[in-house]
Each structure stands twice: as C-alpha cells, then as structure tokens.
Amino acid sequence: MVVGVLVELANQNVDKVFDYSVPESLIDQIKVGIRVLVPFGRQTLEGFVLKIKDSSDVSLKDIYSVVDSDIILDEELLLLGREIKNTTLSTLISCYQVMLPKALKAKAGSSVAKKLHTFYELKDKDYVPTSSTQKKILDLYINQSLISREELLAISSSSLNTLVSRGVLVAVYQEDYRVKYEVNRDSKKKLTSSQQKVVDSVIHDKRGVTFLLYGVTGSGKTEVYMHIIEHVLEEGKTAIILVPEISLTPQMVELFSNRFGNQIAALHSALSEGEKYDEWRRIARGEASIVIGARSAIFAPLKNIGVIIMDEEHSDSYKQGDKNPRYHARDVAIWRGKYHHCPVLLGSATPSLESMARAQKNVYQLLTLKDRVNGKSLPSVTIIDMNKEVKNSSSHITNRLLEEIKRCVSLGQQAILFLNRRGFSTFVTCKNCSYTIKCPHCDITLTYHKSNHMLRCHYCGYATTLPKVCPSCGEAALSDLGVGTEKIEEELHKLLPSIRVLRMDIDTTSRKGAHKKMIQAFRNHEYDILLGTQIVAKGLDFDNVTLVGVINADTSLNIPDFRSSENTFSLLSQVAGRSGRSKLEGKVFIQTFNPDHYAISFVKNHDYLGFYKEEMSIRKKLGYPPFYFLCYIKISGKDSSYLFQESLKIKRSFDRNLLHTTILGPTSLAVFKVNNIYRYGIILKYKHEDNLRSVLIKIINHYRTNSKIHIDIDFNPSHF
C-alpha cells in the first residue's frame, strides 16, 4: 500500500503530496484524513494522509507510525481546505491547520493530553467484606455501577487499595472534559409576529439559501436564533452559531446552555489549549449538537449541519487578515451551507455594505426586524460638538455628559462609556524639544499605561518604563498627550469619586475568565459605569443600562481607510443600541469634533438605510466594494530600499498583465515598520480580471526562495 502524505510544513516549496509506502503491520490502520509520522529529509514530521493507492513504480520510504485512530479531516473538511487554498492562494497545509486546535498540530500536540477521570467497577459481587469501611464502600454499588475514585477515597484509602489488590474492584478510566456548562433549563420566550416570520422563512428553506437578517438593536435576534436551532435539533441535525468578539461568547454560551444544556460546545481563543482539544473531540464524536464560538468555530467537525448563523455579520473580526490563510468566515459558512444544503443566516443591526448589496440584488434573501421586542423606541441620540465644548471643560468628559451620568446613577440605573482606545495616553512627547517616544522596532509612538508606569507598543508588544527625563534633550519635560480608557477611568474617579467604574479592555481582560466575571459583576450592579473599548460595543444586553456615552466618536473616523465611515457608523450604532433595552427609556450622548459628518448624522436618527445609500454613492464614485473587488499585496522585509525596488518590479508586472485592473501603489503602509520589518502595499481594484490569479501565482513562485522578501496576498481585505 502507498499513501500520499501532506507534511506539516507551511512552506510553498513543499506544498504538495509526497508518496510513502505502508508497512504490513500498519495497513489496517490507514484511512484518508488521519495523521501519520514520516521521514522527511533529515526530519521526522507529521502529515495528513490525502491519498491511498495500491503500489508505486519507484522505491519509497516507509511511514514510521499512525498518529490517530480516528479520522481528523473528513471528506468535507478535505474539500473545504482545497477550496480555501484556491481562493486565498495559501498553502494547503495552512488551510488544514487553521481548522484544528493546536493540540492536533505536530509542534503542540504532545503537550496537551486527555484528562482522565478514575472510576471503579465492582467485579467480584460475592466478596464478603472484612471491615466496616469495606462494607460501606461495597454498599455504594447496590444502586450504582461506577463510583468515582474521590468518593471511595473519602471513605477509606486503605480499604479501597485492599479491594483493588484482591480484584474486587477494577479501575475504569473515562475522559473528563475540562469545560463544564451550567444547565438551567430556561423556557423559551414567545415570539412576536415579526420574529416568527423570520423563523418560518429560515426553517422552511431546504435549498441552502443565505439569509440576511437586518434587525435593529434589541429586536430579539438571539431569541430568533434559538428558535431556529431548536427546530434544527428536532430534525436530528446540528448547528453552528458564530459571534465576533470573545467578550460576547460567555453571554451567548450562558444563554444557550440555559436552553440546551450540554448539547452545546464552545470554540474560541479564551479557552486553554486543553479545553479546545476537549471541545473539538466532543464535537467530532457527536456529543455536542450546537457549536458556539468566534471565527475559527466555522470549521467545527459537525456532521449533518442544519443551520449556520453569523451574529453581527458586519464585524471585521470574521476576516483572518493577519496570517494565512486569509479567509472570511462568511465565505466558509456559505460553502458549508451549500455542502449540507442548509440555510445560512447572517444577522446584524448594521449589515456590511457588501451583504446588504447582495440582498438588494436577491443574492441573499432579506429578512427584517424593524422594532424592539420591548415595544420601546430606539434611544434618543444627542450629538455634542466638541469644538464648542472643549473651551468649557478641562476634562475629556463634557459637562453635559457628566450631568447625565450623575442623573442616571442617582436613579439607580447604569451607564456604558465607550472609547475605542486603551491605555492612559496615546503618546508621550517633550515640551522642550518636541521629541516623541517611539517603539525602537516599529514606526509608531508608544502608548503610556499609567497603572504600571510603562510605555507599550500595541503592534509588537515592546515595553519599557517611562523615563524621568527626555531621551533626546535630557530635560524633565515629558508630557503625555492623547487619551485612552485608563485616563478616562482616572478622570471619572476624580470627578465622581462615589461612582463605581469597571474598565473593560484588552489590558483588564487578559486573564482567563475575566470577560465573564466582569459582565456578571456589571449585571449584578456591582458597578455603576462600564467603561471600555469596542469590547463593550456589541451584543451585550443589560436591562438596567439607560445611558450610553461616546467619549470620542472620531477615533475610527480618522483612520485612513475606505471603510472608516462604515466602521464608525456601525460601531456607534451598535454601542448606542446598548441603551434602553428593557422597560426603561434609553439615552445616548456622542462627543465628536465632526458633528456634521454623515456617518454621525445618520447614527443620530438610527437611519441605517440612509447611511447605506449615502455610502454606496461614494463607493461607486471612488470604485470601491461592493462595486469593485479588491486585492491587497503586502511586500515586507528588512531592507527598505530593496523592497521598494522589488515593489516597483511587481507593479510593472501588473501593468503589463492586468489589462482591466486599476493599480494603486506601491506605497508604504501607514505604519511603515513593525518589529523591524518594513512594509509596502499595492492595491488592485477590478470587476473582472480572468488573468489575476495566474499573475499572482507567478509572483508567488518567483519570490518563493527569496528570503529577503515576503509576499502576502489578501483578497477583499477588511482594512489596509
């Protein structure tokens, strides 16, 4: 027997299947989709069996061993990996590796083992106990067949050892999963007529249609999801539900475990590698019917999928843009939906322009929820012009917003304050010589974190203590400028010392379980104000929140990216939607230096469709998605001048070969250097370009063995 093996090396030069012979002793264990250990040059590598054939005309090396007893990549996932390779131009092995937890990858697998729990089974039922503790142990087996080791040790360790040594009791090992779910069977809520209409449309689809659910914040989309999934489970099928942020996962897991108990499994980056391994195995074994998680959960090894749901489908976190393969979870969801002939439901209060455009053209089927389930109107939105207010206040919180916070808290209600920038200040500069402290490895200023007196780079992770004097002129004239969540927290404590503030950003949620604890603490009203970055902007549901304040709405608006207006509108609309979600009316106050910008004006009126039309008009004039496709080529390396010359060569190649494409660049990236690596970019804009992929593949092949330059290709990037 001969097997074709794809080895676990994410290198373009070995992105192919290599043949090995199979020793007689291993033939019965070989299946397509399992891992094997093979010799590869001077190395020993793991690889996936992709082909099996009877023999070969040439002499081959033998595989060493079989790693798995069960298939790791089934037929569907093998096909999906090839699809992602073709659409992203990544290596095939990277497409398979992204589907699996680290514990199933060669370099990390040996460090994560199954967690086994020891039970004891009664084998000799005729044995007569010789002590009272032996009798007490054996009496437990009258109504049970297996007793845990811990329960028996609590009675007597010596008696347990005696019974085991005499063969009366025999140890039985069962895998003990590291993730536990609290089960509190909630009764399902009665749907409104609008919600029921959405449910009926989805559950009656048998063609694999993609639906776009445009539902305002608070319209009960999650309850719709649960009703659909309940129907799917009744049909004996399974379901995937994706959420964009880790912070949303604990809340979603809690809601679904209360309704569906241990039928759920979670897959997201907040889990330990052991927990991910356990969850993946539960799913693969068919022990879980509902998978909840972030982007990578779309690869869950479920069988017989009945529905795939993407909540907050507009979120750019569904696109993997930092490493290969640069896939979008929405594309994978639609592919799997077609494979299983099941519906895909994309839900959002602010759908991406691409999704809404597809719905308008009937590529997706549009469903709507126009009203909140509580019967209340959407919260009133007040725009605060910072150009006027900045003269009247030394704080970043205007007097108007401060008074609203006081009023809210005095009524026993809660507020959410949003600023999409963490840290204390965004940069530190010298008043004497104007020197600004930058990262030594990146072309970016260091952010000051006052809690530990550190300057940090949010790109490469470099950190250093804040110097007492200017590194350039030696004067004690350093000043921190800009504002982050840490500084706002300090200001709140000074202005409102009796009010309890909970800060929620990457710095405060890095510890395991922090998201869940913070959300629960705020829900229990242990805090009056939840202050945070975009972690607090989406999906969170607190009955007692009646006030939302946006400290600076311009943070995302000033980013040099064609999506900045869309991202600003979406983010502000989402955070505004956290207010007034229960019986109490909600208010929103947005501080901005751009009060007349259309993205902010449309937020004031909760007018998504108005924003959609305005932004679509601008995109059409400028030739951006959804009217054009984009491909972004990033060229990086350590030698800046060499990179620029090679970038010009690549650009000239595009000029010669891409006749229907607009070519922008090469230009240096906004952050030119990251971790001592320089970066240039070329943007391709096209409607139809049949030659594009072949041209890109030639460029990849040309630079494949050149260690001085790295080429990254990103189709339809979420940002530049």
- Model pLDDT, residue 420: 86
Q: Are 530 and 504 in contact (CB under 8 A)?
A: yes
Full domain range(s) for residue 123:
116-175
CATH number, domain containing residue 362: 3.40.50.300
User: Domain check: are 595 and 686 in the same one?
Assistant: no
- Examine the pLDDT at 644 and tell me if it is beyond 60: yes
How far apart CA 218 and CA 224 sit, in angstroms, is 12
User: Domain check: are 266 and 343 in the same one?
Assistant: yes
C-beta atoms surrounding 163 within 10 Å? 25
Lowest mean pLDDT among 107-116, 255-264, 334-343: 107-116
Q: What is the pLDDT of residues 439-448, one digit of tens each?
A: 999 888 888 8
Long-range contacts of 571-574 (CB under 8 A, 24+ apart): 571/420, 571/534, 571/537, 572/599, 572/600, 572/603, 573/217, 573/349, 573/350, 573/603, 573/606, 573/608, 574/217, 574/312, 574/349, 574/350, 574/537, 574/538, 574/539
- Model pLDDT, residue 106: 56
How far apart CA 439 and CA 634 sit, in angstroms, is 22
Judge whether 246 lies within some domain.
yes
- Model pLDDT, residue 232: 97
Q: Is 376 or 234 the better-scoring residue by pLDDT? A: 234
- Examine the pLDDT at 234 and tell me if it is beyond 60: yes
Instruction: Indicate the average pLDDT of the chain.
Output: 91
How far apart CA 474 and CA 430 sit, in angstroms, is 10
Judge whether 451 lies within some domain.
no
- Examine the pLDDT at 11 and tell me if it is beyond 80: no
CATH number, domain containing residue 27: 3.40.1440.60
Q: Is the dihedral of CA 539, 540, 541, 543 positive or negative?
A: negative
pTM over 0.75: yes
How far apart CA 597 and CA 248 sit, in angstroms, is 30
**Domain boundary pick from 583, 614, 645:** 614
Please report which confidence band the pLDDT of residue 109 belongs to, taking 50, 70 and 90 as the band edges: very low
User: Domain check: are 546 and 685 in the same one?
Assistant: no
Q: What is the pLDDT of residues 279-311, one digit of tens each?
A: 898 999 999 999 999 999 999 999 999 999 999
Please report which confidence band the pLDDT of residue 540 belongs to, taking 50, 70 and 90 as the band edges: confident
Q: Report how far Cα 463 is from the mean position of its chain's Cα atoms.
A: 26
Cβ-Cβ contacts under 8 Å for 413 (sequence gap 6 or more): 544, 545, 546, 547, 584
Q: What is the DSSP letter of 38?
A: E
- Examine the pLDDT at 237 and tell me if it is beyond 70: yes
**Overall average pLDDT of the 541-547 stretch:** 92
User: Domain check: are 498 and 571 in the same one?
Assistant: yes
Cβ-Cβ contacts under 8 Å for 416 (sequence gap 6 or more): 529, 530, 531, 532, 536, 542, 545, 547, 548, 549, 575, 578, 579
**Overall average pLDDT of the 42-70 stretch:** 91
Q: Are 155 and 136 in contact (CB under 8 A)?
A: yes
User: Domain check: are 102 and 146 in the same one?
Assistant: no
- Examine the pLDDT at 108 and tell me if it is beyond 50: no
- Examine the pLDDT at 275 and tell me if it is beyond 60: yes
Please report which confidence band the pLDDT of residue 183 belongs to, taking 50, 70 and 90 as the band edges: low
- Model pLDDT, residue 424: 67
User: Domain check: are 121 and 47 in the same one?
Assistant: no
Cβ-Cβ contacts under 8 Å for 384 (sequence gap 6 or more): 398, 400, 401, 589, 590, 591, 592, 595
User: Domain check: are 47 and 123 in the same one?
Assistant: no
Judge whether 428 lies within some domain.
no
CATH number, domain containing residue 666: 3.30.70.600
**Overall average pLDDT of the 147-153 stretch:** 91
- Model pLDDT, residue 71: 92
Judge whether 241 lies within some domain.
yes
Judge whether 703 lies within some domain.
yes
CA distances from 180 to 183, 264, 406, 513 (A): 9, 10, 40, 13
C-beta atoms surrounding 71 within 10 Å? 17
Lowest mean pLDDT among 508-522, 629-643, 677-691: 508-522
Half-sphere exposure of 64 (CA within 13 A, CB side): 11
- Model pLDDT, residue 110: 47
**Domain boundary pick from 347, 369, 391:** 369
- Model pLDDT, residue 112: 57
User: Domain check: are 526 and 558 in the same one?
Assistant: yes
Judge whether 479 lies within some domain.
no
Q: Which two tokens stand for residue 400?
A: 């108007």
**Domain boundary pick from 582, 614, 646:** 614
Q: Is 149 or 199 the better-scoring residue by pLDDT? A: 199
- Model pLDDT, residue 206: 80
Q: Which of 690, 622, 693, 663 is nearest to 353 (CA)?
A: 622
Q: Which of 345, 263, 327 is nearest to 83 (CA)?
A: 327
Judge whether 437 lies within some domain.
no
614 sits in which H/E element: helix 608-622
- Examine the pLDDT at 639 and tell me if it is beyond 50: yes
Please report which confidence band the pLDDT of residue 654 belongs to, taking 50, 70 and 90 as the band edges: very high
Considering the chain, what percentage of its residues have pLDDT values greater than 70?
97
Please report which confidence band the pLDDT of residue 184 belongs to, taking 50, 70 and 90 as the band edges: low
How far apart CA 350 and CA 573 sit, in angstroms, is 7
How far apart CA 261 and CA 273 sit, in angstroms, is 23
Q: Report how far Cα 454 is from the mean position of its chain's Cα atoms.
A: 28
- Model pLDDT, residue 251: 81
In the three-class reduction of DSSP (H, G, I as helix; E, B as strand; rest coil), residue 510 is classed as coil
- Examine the pLDDT at 671 and tell me if it is beyond 90: no
Please report which confidence band the pLDDT of residue 197 belongs to, taking 50, 70 and 90 as the band edges: very high
User: Domain check: are 504 and 397 in the same one?
Assistant: yes
- Model pLDDT, residue 583: 86
Lowest mean pLDDT among 182-196, 630-644, 706-720: 182-196
CA distances from 396 to 301, 382, 489 (A): 48, 17, 11
Domain count, the chain: 5
User: Domain check: are 495 and 565 in the same one?
Assistant: yes
- Model pLDDT, residue 460: 84
User: Domain check: are 154 and 265 in the same one?
Assistant: no
Judge whether 477 lies within some domain.
no
Q: What is the pLDDT of residues 389-410, one digit of tens each?
A: 877 767 889 999 999 999 999 9
Please report which confidence band the pLDDT of residue 271 belongs to, taking 50, 70 and 90 as the band edges: confident
Please report which confidence band the pLDDT of residue 107 belongs to, taking 50, 70 and 90 as the band edges: low
User: Domain check: are 95 and 120 in the same one?
Assistant: no
- Model pLDDT, residue 185: 64
